[in-house]
Amino acid sequence: MDMLNKLKSTVSTTVSQLSGVLPGNPVTREYEVGKLIGSAGPDLLWKIFSGFKKSTKQEASIFVLEKKLLEKYSKKDKDQLVEVLRRGVAQLTRLRHPQILTVQHPVEESRESLAFATEPVFASLANVLGCHENISPLPQQLRDYKLFEVEIKYGLQQLIEGLIFLHNDVKLLHCNICPESIVINQQGAFKIFGFDFCTSSQDATSKLWPVREPDPELSPVSQSNLDYLAPELGPNAIGCGASVDMYSLGCLIVSIYQNGKSPWQMDGDVESFYRHAASHTQTLQRMEGVPPELVDHVRSLLHPTPEQRLDAHQLVKISWFDDVGVKTLNYLDSLFQWDNLQKSQFFKGLPQILPRLPERVCLHRVMPCLAKEFVNPSMVPFILPCALHIAQEASKENYVAHILPHLRPVMKIQEPVQILLIFMQRMELLLQKTPADDVKSDVLPMIYRALEAEAAPQIQELCLSVIPSFASLIDYPAMKNALMPRIKKLCLLPSGQLSVRVNCLICIGKLLDNVDKWLVLDDILPMLPAIPSRDPAVVMAILGVYKIALEHPRLGIPKEVIATQIVPFLFPLLVEPGLSLTQFRALVAMVKEMLAKVEEEQKTKLESVAALQDEQR
């Protein structure tokens, strides 16, 4: 009950947060807004909500700026800030690059808010590093969230590639690279956001951009984050190069390893920044937490002289990024450029790499890339073992949420047959993690198709071996009308392989616990004499079915069936030339046991009849 009340409270809080802000905003005509998941931008003023597009159900994130949050500023600062934020989103909307946050719907303004929609995001980097302003209540996924080393490496590599695009292709200087301006999407990719203070160069040949120095008269939120600003943007700054963003990136790297704290703390004070810029003659000496192999490169980025800093092309090539996990994620991002042979070679080696990647990276970064390749049936046999390896390591909850939806369409693919074979080999995993309803709706139909795969006896044998393990999940009509007829057909097939026939009989024997007496008497027992094989292995398997049925406390075999159907069938088998001595003895013992049962029951019946007749005389 407490949990229910807590859920109601969370929902009502979200509704109340949105009710006074978004109804008048045009974004809500096209997008359904969900719960609050994060915040981003200057002072983390942009609230980030989950959501989806109403017309297509495409998942999205909605960024909302509540104008009431700006009431603490003067009218001049408030108007300027709104204009700055509006301009920043407009610039973001015009950019298209894998490392730039993708805008799905441009910024819209109402009396109460600004809002726009983007690709689905997880949160801002600032949120992940522990800054949770404007997020209440705090989402569960942000509590105690820690970035893994491979996520940091790959994320920084993505940011560097994004900066190369901005500096070289768009001729744009970001001027505010900081945790609030970096957004992490649902797959864990770092995306550049927050173009509120960017500047562009009109001269395509120039390597300098016009910049504005920080203004003491402006509110700190209306200008670049001073904690991450390069010293050359101090007093009398006129033009600066791409090294401005590289300096900010160096500060960002330090902040990632120091729980979101920049190496310099200006507290929004422009005069402090000016003093820092004027006296900045030495690089930062202490870098707690920064990996030793990265320290010298960060020092280079934080060098007071712009010309001494590494540029983006140099930084992306350092050995620190030469990591098998980072390379793997890069390969996954570029799969669309490869032919099937190259892809198959990569996927063959991927299971050896997956154990080195954290579960979160496998679920949110690797699995979506694998799922995109499932549309190519010829590649599925190479991809499926990787997906099932991730499933093996995932919790049941994560499996159901992030893996099973991608596996459902694959379970329906009939060619190539290797797909069924892989599923049969990992059926124990599927049954362990897949909910019962999904086993019935998705796994069971796949089992039926596997039984009908006459060209692949190995698949049929694997299938027959796993069916008893989930027989309790099969309802009786499906057992009687769908599963058992397929097994019988396979067993009676004249051209069937011996091993398949034997496995059919073993499977039937194990299924007797899950059927009723009438199915045994009407369908199973009459089938056994009709099997077109008298091979000793088949005879012993038939004997096993008879023995289980005979001794089962709920089933049993009536004496009439034994006397008229079973014994007449078994007696000629006693002289089959292929039987070994052990097999012959087992057959004789079964015949004797059945005859003893007939004798005992018939004797008891006759004695009862005789006693009744004596009483009537």
C-alpha 462: how far from its chain's center? 27
Closest CA to 41 of 179, 139, 135: 179
pLDDT in tens, 464-521: 888 888 787 777 888 888 888 888 888 888 877 888 888 888 888 888 888 888 888 8
CB burial readout 370-391, b (16+ within 10 A) else e = bbebbeeeebbbbbbbbbbbbb
pLDDT in tens, 372-390: 888 888 889 999 999 999 9
- Give the residue ranges of DSSP H helices in 62-101: 75-94
The total number of residues shown for the chain amounts to: 617
CA distance 32 to 40: 20
- List beta partners, residue 40: 46
pLDDT in tens, 25-66: 888 889 999 999 999 999 999 999 999 999 999 999 999 999
Asked if pLDDT for residue 93 goes beyond 90, the answer is yes
Q: At what angle do helices 457-466 and 444-451 cross, to 10 degrees?
A: 140
CB 237 within 8 A of CB 204: no
SS3 221: helix
Whether omega before 572 lies within 30 degrees of 0, making that bond cis, reads no
- The confidence score (pLDDT) of residue 122 equals 93
Fold of 2-319: Transferase(Phosphotransferase); domain 1 (1.10.510)
- The confidence score (pLDDT) of residue 19 equals 46
CA distance 334 to 337: 6
Asked if pLDDT for residue 17 goes beyond 60, the answer is no
Half-sphere exposure (Cβ direction) of 498: Cα atoms closer than 13 Å:
8
Indicate the residue type of 539: V
Confidence tier at 456 by pLDDT (50, 70, 90): confident
pLDDT in tens, 137-165: 888 888 888 999 999 999 999 999 999 99
- The confidence score (pLDDT) of residue 94 equals 94
- Give the residue ranges of DSSP H helices in 452-580: 457-466, 476-478, 484-492, 498-511, 517-519, 525-527, 536-551, 559-561, 567-570
CB 141 within 8 A of CB 122: yes
Residue ranges covered by each domain of the chain: 2-319
- List beta partners, residue 209: 240
pLDDT in tens, 515-552: 888 888 888 888 888 888 888 888 898 888 888 888 88
- Give the residue ranges of DSSP H helices in 109-216: 125-128, 149-164
CA distance 120 to 44: 18
Which H or E element spans position 300?
helix 292-301
pLDDT in tens, 576-601: 888 889 888 888 888 888 888 888 88
Asked if pLDDT for residue 4 goes beyond 50, the answer is no
Task: Give phi and psi for 434, each to the nearest 5.
Answer: -85, 130
Residue 112 gets which letter from DSSP? Answer: S
CA 203-206-211 angle, 5° bins? 80
- The confidence score (pLDDT) of residue 562 equals 83
Burial environment of residue 152 by CB neighbours within 10 A (0 to 12, 13 to 18, 19 or more): middle
CB burial readout 92-109, b (16+ within 10 A) else e = bbebebebbbbbbbebbb
Pairing of strands 209-210, 239-240: antiparallel
- The confidence score (pLDDT) of residue 238 equals 67
SS3 105: strand
Comparing 238 with 453, which gets the higher pLDDT? Answer: 453
Average pLDDT, the chain: 86
- Give the residue ranges of DSSP H helices in 145-242: 149-164
Which H or E element spans position 103?
strand 103-109
Sign of CA pseudo-dihedral 8, 14, 20, 23: negative
Q: Which two tokens stand for residue 259?
A: 């729980």
Task: Give phi and psi for 396, each to the nearest 5.
Answer: -60, -40
Give a three-class secondary structure readout of 239-266.
EECCHHHHHHHHHHHHHHHCCCCCCCCC
Closest CA to 108 of 33, 25, 32, 195: 25
For 23, residues 6+ apart whose C-beta sits below 8 A from its C-beta are none
CA distance 119 to 104: 6
Phi-psi category of residue 567: left, alpha or beta, with phi > 0 → left and psi -120 to 50 → alpha:
alpha
- List beta partners, residue 245: none
pLDDT in tens, 308-331: 889 999 999 999 998 899 999 988
Asked if pLDDT for residue 74 goes beyond 90, the answer is no
- The confidence score (pLDDT) of residue 583 equals 86
Place of tokens 């820690």: 146
Q: What is the pTM of this model?
A: 0.78
SS3 120: coil
- Whole-angstrom CA distances from 534 to 483, 521, 571, 574, 587 are 25, 22, 13, 11, 13
Indicate the residue type of 382: F
CA distance 480 to 413: 25
Asked if pLDDT for residue 572 goes beyond 50, the answer is yes
Taking residues 211-229, report their average pLDDT.
Answer: 84
Asked if pLDDT for residue 454 goes beyond 80, the answer is no
SS3 126: helix
pLDDT in tens, 96-138: 999 999 999 999 988 888 999 999 999 999 999 989 989 988 8
CB 89 within 8 A of CB 104: no
Burial environment of residue 576 by CB neighbours within 10 A (0 to 12, 13 to 18, 19 or more): middle
- The confidence score (pLDDT) of residue 285 equals 59
Percent helix, percent strand, percent coil in the chain, to nearest 5: 60, 10, 30
Comparing 4 with 509, which gets the higher pLDDT? Answer: 509
